Amino acid sequence: MGMLLGSIALILVGGGMLEMCFFSKDPEFGIASRIAMFVFGLLFLIPGIILLKLAISELKQSSAKKGKLKDNVILIGQDIKNGLTGFFLNNYGAEADKNLVERLISAFRSNLSLFFKYNTGSENEPIQENVTQIYRNILDFRRNRLKRMGVAFNLDSIRKNYGGRAVYSKTYFDGKYQITDVKEDIAARSVFSKNGKCIYNRVDKDIACYTLINAKSSGTNKIICPNCGSMTTRENLLDGCDFCRTKFMVEDLGLRVSDFALRKDYDVEYEKYKDFRHKMIVLSSIIWGLICLIFCSYWAFRVSGDVASETGSGPIMTFMATLFSALFPAAAFTFIGVFFFIVCIFPFIQFGASANYTSKKILDKIKAASRDDKNTENIVKKFDDLFSINGFYSNVQNKIAAIHYADTKEQINAFSYKDISGLLNNYTNVIDMDMDYITLRNYWVDQGLQIADVEAGLNLISYNGKKCSRKSEKLNLTLTKSAACKTQVVCAPSVMRCKCCGSPISLLDGRICHQCGTDIGLEQYDWVIREYNVG
């Protein structure tokens, strides 16, 4: 852009000099002066034309790169399928590469949109290349609800940059899986429609939280068994671990999304707050500056026009004289106007901006919640030093979503030891759940169990066949997990198969084996709900 502006300036100056050679009426402007002006005009004009061509070529290349990047994003799901999974398997669970992580979550969001858009329920869907089986079951809860109600759902999302990097991640080993906690600045729009007509839409400009897992390598051809933690070969894990006898599918050892949720984040909201201030000041400066420039240009043109008629200046020199004559007074008036806006008008705009999370009051509330989360996380880490508050919240949020989208007694109790099937009628028409806030109130260990008290605020959207209605809901939950379980993610191969008869288990049918009636004992691997109170 700088090259483009510079080339235009050189062309204007060179063109103005050449113009003076032919249009000037000044009697003192003789032949020698006209020849010199002609030579210097060419010295400015020719480099200007060359730079202009280079600038246009550079802009075309930049545009082509953006187009190529867009094509890569469209094809990224196939890239993940053919390339990334192979990379992680070939490296036996090597630590997640930053670029591959960013591409995986982009592919996941794209495939998540396709998962709901086509609503087919086929066996070989692109989403299965990106998610764990348990998380896939949770997504099926929601899709089945929408399918039963005849409601189409479309999710459009794009990565944003609210300040600094757009994607933040940290990777650690929890004894079984290599875990990558990811936070991504995001803008997403959810659109619900019935018979082609939009019935509800929601826009999120928050942060997306992901938990990614993959098997961890330990030397050449050695992998940590994700079930028991023993070191063995990849072939043994596929045939059956020598220690725990768990068999794995090939995809169980690759990189997968196990949790995903959209939540508000203080750092993101603060960057949006600063961005709002910056945009308002820039926008006011541009608008007021253009107004001042128009009025000053009109005045300067009148003056320059009179001078041009006397000296015989051409249109280029007249334009340049008008521009430079208008710039200084326009800049002065713009400075005065912007100063007045910042001091006298902007505070009132800022005061009324709470609807867009740009008010100081809401920022302070989010900051206080973030501070409380950090303090609670430190308390939990005294017992479980690998505990992640973001991963925990995503886990709980997905379980709450599964409850609201459940259609049977078995489904609504899949993550709860307390029978909450009486809530089925309350949630039967829910098509969307927006998490307003979630916080870990208390945590302690007692009688071999980790116990967590969680409070959450939800906004539920229900559809009765004619219109959508919105209702707020406050939840108080008590969750428990075995004190011996300090892994941060659920091990699907061992959980999704009955430990007594070996039959496959789907959370879509509850957590009870349909062959022998054995409970899978989810509390040994994951957080389960002991108390679920509304209000």
Q: Measuring CA to CA, which residue among 373, 139, 169 is closest to residue 261?
A: 139
Residue 441, CA atoms < 13 Å, CB-side half-sphere:
10
Task: Evaluate if residue 453 carries a pLDDT over 90.
Answer: yes
Q: What pTM was computed for the model?
A: 0.63
**DSSP class per residue in 501-520:** T--B--GGG-SB-TTT--B-
- Most confidently predicted of 90-104, 232-246, 429-443: 429-443
Lowest-pLDDT range of 56-60, 237-241, 353-357: 353-357
| Three-class SS state of 1 | coil
Residues 280-307: what's their mean pLDDT?
69
Lowest-pLDDT range of 54-58, 233-237, 344-348: 344-348
Task: Evaluate if residue 444 carries a pLDDT over 90.
Answer: yes
Q: Measuring CA to CA, which residue among 129, 4, 141, 115 is closest to residue 59?
A: 4
Residues 157-169: what's their mean pLDDT?
74
d(CA 528, CA 421) in angstroms, rounded, equals 15
Q: Which residue has the higher pLDDT, 126 or 38?
A: 126
pLDDT at 172: 81
Task: Evaluate if residue 351 carries a pLDDT over 60.
Answer: no
pLDDT at 78: 38
Q: Which residue has the higher pLDDT, 155 or 369?
A: 155
- Most confidently predicted of 81-85, 112-116, 120-124, 348-352: 112-116
Q: Measuring CA to CA, which residue among 503, 497, 501 is closest to residue 520?
A: 497
* 179, 489 contact by CB (below 8 A): yes
Express each pLDDT in 98-123 by its tens digit: 777 888 888 898 899 889 887 665 66
pLDDT at 79: 38
Q: Which of the 8 DSSP states describes residue 239? A: H
Residues 154-182: what's their mean pLDDT?
79
Percentage helix, strand, coil for the chain under 3-state DSSP, each rounded to 5: 50, 25, 25
pLDDT at 124: 66
Radius of gyration of the chain (CA): 32
Sequence-separated (6 or more) residues with CB below 8 Å from residue 44: 10, 11, 13, 14, 17
Express each pLDDT in 36-77 by its tens digit: 667 766 777 787 788 777 778 777 766 654 444 333 333 333
Residues 148-155: what's their mean pLDDT?
90
Q: Which residue has the higher pLDDT, 255 or 34?
A: 255
Task: Evaluate if residue 357 carries a pLDDT over 60.
Answer: no
Q: Measuring CA to CA, which residue among 403, 456, 404, 470 is closest to residue 202?
A: 470
Lowest-pLDDT range of 90-104, 225-239, 319-333, 430-444: 90-104
Bridge partner residues of 179 (DSSP): 172, 213
Task: Evaluate if residue 89 carries a pLDDT over 50.
Answer: no
